[in-house]
Amino acid sequence: MRERPALVLASASPRRRWLLSRLGLDFIAVGPGLEEELPPRAPHPERLARRLARAKALAVAGRYPGCPVLAADTVVVQRGQPLAKPRDAHEAMAMLRRLRGRWHRVVTAVALAWGRRLLLGHAITRVLMRRYGEEEIAAYVATGMPFDKAGAYGIQDEPFLPVAAYEGCYCNVVGLSLAVVIRLLDRAGLAAPEPTPDRLLPQCLSCPLLGDR
């Protein structure tokens, strides 16, 4: 008989697994197996992200009855247009050119399904990309790193490091706001760990959301 896990992360993302592990939680990760379809316009990207995160949580919760299931979805939006994961190198390069030197928003919604309860939260971070060159774009795309990321980039991806500045939660841009996770666990009455500097990312020490907990 399969042992019931303490927490299920409904995600196949290695970045979300890594971020959640920073909190010292006992969990397993399970891919939700859902196709993410983005509309051509997203005037309210937070609603879109919350809807997708909710769908992921409920899809996996059905497989693990009685277990708390955590899911997340990230939407990158620039001038009202959501940018999905690029399908090929041409699309990845086009996205990076579109974002170059401009501000955009990253919205990550988090859903926690447990029994009959469904809790939702989200974080929004404003991101300014640096003015990287064409050769940098080509070299980055050649690594393959953009293809599993909304907007075709990762704020943490070295040596490209495409972000010049950001306002808000850093982890939110990576793919999972730890502050939102902690808040939802608290609301659900689960044992949310107290964030400590040795577990968190260096950027978390100045996160405005952790201060609002």
Burial class (CB in 10 A: 0-12, 13-18, 19+), 94: middle
Interatomic CA distance for residues 34 and 98, integer angstroms: 27
CB-count exposure of residue 89 (10 Å: 0-12, 13-18, 19+): middle
Partners of residue 2 on adjacent β-strands = none
Structure tokens at 98: 């579109």
Among the listed residues 73, 88, 157, 212, the single catalytic one is 73
**What is the C-alpha to C-alpha distance for residues 142 and 87, in angstroms, rounded to an integer?**
14
Q: What letter would DSSP give residue 93? A: H
- Residue 10 DSSP SS3: strand
State how far the Cα of 74 lies from the Cα of 172, in Å rounded to an integer. 8
Catalytic residue list contains 73: yes
Strand partners, 165: 128
The dihedral sign for the CA sequence 92, 98, 103, 107: negative
Positions annotated as catalytic residues are: 73
